[in-house]
Amino acid sequence: MEDLQEALMTEILKRITTISDLNSLSLVSKQLCKIEGNQRGAIRVGSRLCTATEALTSLCARFPNLRRVEIDYFGWIPGHGRQLDNKGFSVFSSHYSSLIDLTLSFCSCIDDSGLACLAYCKTLVSLRLNSAPKITSVGLFSVAVGCRSLSALHLIDCEKIDTVEWLEYLGRDGSLEELVVKNCQGINHHDFLKFGSGWMKLQKFEFESKRERYDRLPGDVVYDSSYHAHSTDIYDFCCESLKDLRLAHIKTWPEVGLRLVLGKCKALEKLCLEYVRALNDNDIIALSRSCSNLKSISLWLNLQRYSSDVSYCETRTSFTDNSLYALARNCRMLQMVDLSFIGCSRDWPSEIGFTQEGFLVLIQSCPIRVLVLNTANFFDDEGMKALSSSPHLETLELILCHAVTDAGMHFIAHTPCLSNLTLRLCHNVTDVGVAELGHAHKLESLVVEYCGEVSLQAVQGVAKLVHYSDYSYFFMKKIGLGAY
């Protein structure tokens, strides 16, 4: 190996992508070790990375051209040695001034002064901070000012970040295309209205507020089901480049807040709303009218109290069939639908605002390829019969759909393009229904989990790939029914 030309050895290494194989090859010869180290552009280091000068020096010498780095101290204990601190991070960031992608996870010894060292990294494009307990808005502002090429920023479980000068600066002078904020207690969803013109560049936005125990409960607040937040444009910004939007665990009432975004994102392709309080049909109708390119929608709904009449109040999920009709009429490119309902009775009629009739209008109007239904008590065997005629459906997942029985399996087995089926906690499907699936000989994969009337013997041979779990595994993993 030592006699091979360096160019040839470099070309060989370029064709090997598995990290374990590259690590093994570097042990073959000194020359391979040097070439592989020079060529390596990405690395992930864990809890064994300490602040010792020798360790950092060795790392920098071994891999001088890193562009993407992830430092993850998850599971760290004092016995692993000292974590990377501000001094070590200064050496690290100055050596890798051409860094374009950095992830810091559970780095409890790096604070604002350490994060300010990223000013060395003028080419930094992506920064992810996960569980950074000492980072505040001051450190984040220094990154916003120093890293002018930053286009992706993820903040997860950063408890001390509160004031939003950094957000205003990035909105005014930055180039963010991707912004993800999860479980940062000091950041409110109204703060993002200060992002201003930055919305125009943003292509992906995700905001998840810190979960509270009352997220599952209707509570005492009554929301106005006729309120129309999109009737007047009270905020002067647009987000016409936004393609991917996720909002989770936020309350949009009485202030408008981020619900206004739903009527402004004309390029939106993927929408996920998870337990967002106070939304109503007007929000989905406004969205559908502006988002003709929508391809994926996930609605995870819990119980809320609605009224447009002071003499009557109903407890139900956020949207009704009017939302489904609007999506069916205006979003004809929709390919993926995920509907989940928490806290609703298993029997129909219940507090779910959708009916099977409205749901089937949506399914029959759009080229749905992937469908997920969780606790959809309005959906029964007649729905399965209608679904079986869907010409595009490839993947179906049913969770806690108690109204679906063996008759439904008979119908769905004849769906033209269905190749992937998941049944989870569907207790009225038995071995007889699974046999119907096997007779059709269409399925590529079948997943059956915690369906009490389906046996391991029944699923064998029904599809090319089969996964089966029974209740013993269910309880062993301590998975809670209805948990999200």
Print pLDDT tens along the chain (484 aa). Answer: 666 676 777 677 777 777 777 777 777 777 777 777 777 888 888 777 776 566 777 888 888 889 999 999 998 888 888 888 898 888 888 888 899 999 999 999 999 999 999 988 999 999 999 999 999 999 999 999 999 999 999 999 999 998 889 999 999 988 999 999 999 999 988 899 889 899 999 999 999 998 765 455 566 788 989 889 888 777 777 898 999 999 999 988 766 778 889 989 999 999 999 999 999 999 999 999 999 999 999 999 999 999 887 667 889 999 999 999 999 999 999 999 999 999 888 888 889 999 999 999 999 999 999 999 999 999 999 999 999 999 999 999 999 999 999 999 999 999 999 999 999 999 999 999 999 999 988 899 999 999 999 999 999 999 999 999 987 555 444 444 443 2
The span from the first CA to the last CA of the chain, in angstroms, equals 54
Distance, in Å, from the CA atom of 57 to the CA atom of 95, rounded to the nearest integer, reads 10
- Return the pLDDT at 218: 61
Handedness of CA 412, 414, 416, 422 (dihedral sign): positive
Over residues 185-224, the pLDDT tens digits come to 999 888 998 898 999 999 999 999 987 654 555 667 889 8
Type of residue found at 55: A
Longest dimension (CA), the chain: 89
- Return the pLDDT at 472: 58
Distance, in Å, from the CA atom of 437 to the CA atom of 418, rounded to the nearest integer, reads 11
- Return the pLDDT at 289: 95
Task: Provide the 10 A C-beta neighbour count for residue 328.
Answer: 21
> What is the pTM for the complete model shown?
0.89
- Return the pLDDT at 476: 46
Over residues 267-323, the pLDDT tens digits come to 999 999 999 999 999 999 999 999 999 999 999 999 999 988 766 788 999 999 999
Domain topology for 1-39: Monooxygenase (1.20.1280)
Distance, in Å, from the CA atom of 318 to the CA atom of 304, rounded to the nearest integer, reads 7
